[in-house]
A = this chain, B = another copy of it.
Amino acid sequence: MTDIAPVLARLDADRDAALDRLCTLVGMQSISTDPAYAGECARTAEWLAEDLSAMGFAARVQKTAGHPLVIAHHEGPGPHVLFYGHYDVQPVDPLELWHRDPFDAAVIEEDGREMIVGRGTSDDKGQVMTFLEACRAHLAVHGALPCKVSIVLEGEEESNGDALKTFLAANPAEMTADLALVCDTTMWNRNTPAITTMLRGIVTEEITVRGATRDLHSGFYGSAAANANHVLAAALAGLHDASGRVTLRGFYDGVPEISESLRAQWETLDFDPAGFLGGVGLSVPAGEAGRSVLEQVWARPTAEINGVSGGYTGTGFKTVIPAEAHAKVSFRLVGDQDPDAVRESFRDHIRSALPADCEAVFTAHGGARAISMPTDKPAFEQARRALSEEWGREAAFIGCGGSIPIVGDFRRILGMDTALIGFALEDDRIHSPNEKYDLRSFTGGMRSWARVLAALAD
C-alpha cells in the first residue's frame, strides 16, 4: 500500500512549479480545428512527450493522418490504467471579449476565488496536468507509481478528428488497460467531487442551402426569388415544436426514461435550476416542457444551431437576396439513439423544407453514441472513496450533457470501462472567452489523482 502523505506534501510544495508548467502548456496555440495552427499542435505534443520522458515514462509523439498523439507508458505494481486527455483547444474568437491574451495564462483573483485564466486552462490542459503532476509526485517521492500507467493525449478532440480512434483500432494490445481514466469533466459543485457515469452522444453536421445562382438585388427580385436565408431560417425553426421537442422523424427512438432510483439520487444533489440558468443571465428553461432542467441537460437529447450565416453581415446595409446560407447544427444523444439515423433524419427534414428550386449540401462532422458506466464495479467505488477523502465530501455519481466520443471507443474497440473524473466547474467558460480553471480545481485535482492512483492499487 502506497504511503500517500509524502506524495500530497510534495504536490503542495511543488505547486508554483506546476503552475509554471501549466502556463507554458497553455501558451502553445493548439487550435486543432484551424489548419493554420497545425504547427502549434505538433509543438504542444513534443513538449508533453518531453515532459513525460523527463519523469521516467517511455514517451513518444505518434504521427497520425491528423494531429499527432502523445503516448507514454510506465510500469507499476497495481492494475493497468490508461489515462486519456486532449492537448488541443477551441478557437478563441471573439477575441475582443477576452480580458487578457488567451494564450498568456495567469492566476487572477475574481469574486474572492483564485483562478487560472486562458484558453485550455480548464478544457483540457489544466485537467491533463493534474494527472501528470500526480504521477510526477509519486515518482519523485517513491521512485514508482502505484499502478501500471499508460497515457494517451490527443490533439483532435475539439475538431472531431478520428486519429486516436484509428490508432486504437490498429494497436489494441498496446492501448488496452484494465480501466480508462479521463479528466475532461466537472465536479458536481465547487466543494463536491464527482465521477461522471452518463455521457450524451453527439452528431455534428454542417449545411449549406443554395437558391439562386448568384446574390440578387432585393429590389428587382424581392419576394419572387427564393431567399436562402428564409429557407434556412424556416427549416431550422422547424427543428423544434412549441413544446421544445425535436421534430425529426424517429428522433426519440431509443431515448429511455431515467429510472426512479436515478431520479431519486439526482434529487439528493440539491440542484438549483434557477441558479444554474441565472448564472448565465437566463431564467426560462428552453428545453422540453415537463422535464426538469437537470433532465434536460443530462438525460434528454437536444438539437442546437451552433452557427449560422448568410448574406451581407458586414458594417452598414446591403439589400441583397443571398444565394447561399450556412448553418452548423449539433445533436446531443442519449440512450440508444443512433447517430447515423439522427443525421439522416435531419437531412430528410431539411430536404423536405426546401422549395423545389433550392438545394442543400451537407457535410458530416463527428458522431458518437451516448454511454453509461457500470458503477457497481469495484474500481468506481475505490475512486469515489479516494475523491471523498480528498474533498471531505461524498463524491457524486453524475450525468453529463457533454459528449466524449473516445469513451465509447474505449468500450467498443478495447472493451474498457472509463472512470470520468474531472475538476472543472460549470462556470469555467470553456469554449468561451475568458476560460478559467479554479486554482483549487488544479491543486485539489492533483491531490485527487495521487489518491485515486493509490486507491486503485489497494
Complex formed: what's the CA distance from A240 to B212 in Å? 20
CB distance from A145 to the nearest CB of B (A): 32
Partner of A90, one of B236, B318, B325: B318
Q: A311 contacts which chain B residues (CB < 8 A)?
A: 305-308, 328
Q: Which of A97, A215, A400, A403 has the most CB of B within 10 A?
A: A215
Q: Quick one: closest B residue to A325, CB to CB? A: B308
Stretch among A104-112, A223-231, A253-261 lining the B interface: A223-231
Complex formed: what's the CA distance from A221 to B276 in Å? 9
Q: Quick one: closest B residue to A287, CB to CB? A: B223
Stretch among A44-52, A135-143, A428-436 lining the B interface: A428-436
Q: Quick one: closest B residue to A311, CB to CB? A: B307
Establish whether residues A286 and B226, one from each chain, have CB atoms under 8 Å apart when the complex forms: yes
Complex formed: what's the CA distance from A168 to B356 in Å? 48
Contacts A222-B302, A230-B236, A238-B237 hold; do A310 and B307 have CB atoms under 8 A apart? Answer: yes
Stretch among A20-28, A54-62, A200-208, A344-352 lining the B interface: A200-208
Stretch among A77-85, A169-177, A292-300, A412-420 lining the B interface: A292-300
A321 at the B interface (CB under 8 A): yes
Q: A1 contacts which chain B residues (CB < 8 A)?
A: none
Establish whether residues B317 and A204, one from each chain, have CB atoms under 8 Å apart when the complex forms: yes
Q: A211 contacts which chain B residues (CB < 8 A)?
A: 281-282
Establish whether residues A317 and B365, one from each chain, have CB atoms under 8 Å apart when the complex forms: yes
Q: A287 contacts which chain B residues (CB < 8 A)?
A: 223-224
Establish whether residues A356 and B284, one from each chain, have CB atoms under 8 Å apart when the complex forms: yes
Complex formed: what's the CA distance from A355 to B214 in Å? 35
Establish whether residues B306 and A319, one from each chain, have CB atoms under 8 Å apart when the complex forms: yes
Contacts A315-B35, A356-B283 hold; do A224 and B91 have CB atoms under 8 A apart? Answer: no
Establish whether residues A401 and B305, one from each chain, have CB atoms under 8 Å apart when the complex forms: no
- A347-365 near B? 1/0 per residue, CB < 8 Å: 0000000011100000001
Complex formed: what's the CA distance from A220 to B326 in Å? 24
Establish whether residues B312 and A212, one from each chain, have CB atoms under 8 Å apart when the complex forms: no
Establish whether residues B214 and A304, one from each chain, have CB atoms under 8 Å apart when the complex forms: no
CB distance from A213 to the nearest CB of B (A): 4
CB distance from A209 to the nearest CB of B (A): 12
The A contact surface, by secondary structure, is: loop
Complex formed: what's the CA distance from A239 to B314 in Å? 23
Complex formed: what's the CA distance from A238 to B226 in Å? 16
Which A residues from 388 to 444 make CB contacts under 8 A with B?
Answer: 400-403, 426, 429-433
A375 at the B interface (CB under 8 A): no
Q: A159 contacts which chain B residues (CB < 8 A)?
A: 316-317
Establish whether residues B282 and A226, one from each chain, have CB atoms under 8 Å apart when the complex forms: yes
Complex formed: what's the CA distance from A426 to B221 in Å? 9
A6 at the B interface (CB under 8 A): no
Establish whether residues B281 and A223, one from each chain, have CB atoms under 8 Å apart when the complex forms: no
- A305-342 near B? 1/0 per residue, CB < 8 Å: 11111111111111111100110101010000000000
Q: Quick one: closest B residue to A327, CB to CB? A: B229
Q: With A35-B315, A222-B297 given, can you name 9 additional A-B contacts, CB distance below 8 Å?
A: A33-B317, A212-B281, A215-B432, A218-B401, A222-B332, A223-B302, A224-B286, A224-B297, A225-B286
- 7 cross-chain pairs, A with B, having the tightest CB-CB distances, nearest first: A219-B402, A33-B316, A223-B287, A237-B237, A213-B281, A223-B302, A307-B311
Residue ranges of A at the interface with B (Cβ–Cβ < 8 Å): 32-35, 90-91, 93, 97, 158-160, 186, 200, 202, 204, 206, 211-227, 229-230, 232-234, 236-240, 244, 273, 276-277, 280-288, 293, 296-297, 300, 302-322, 325-326, 328, 330, 332, 355-357, 365-366, 400-403, 426, 429-433
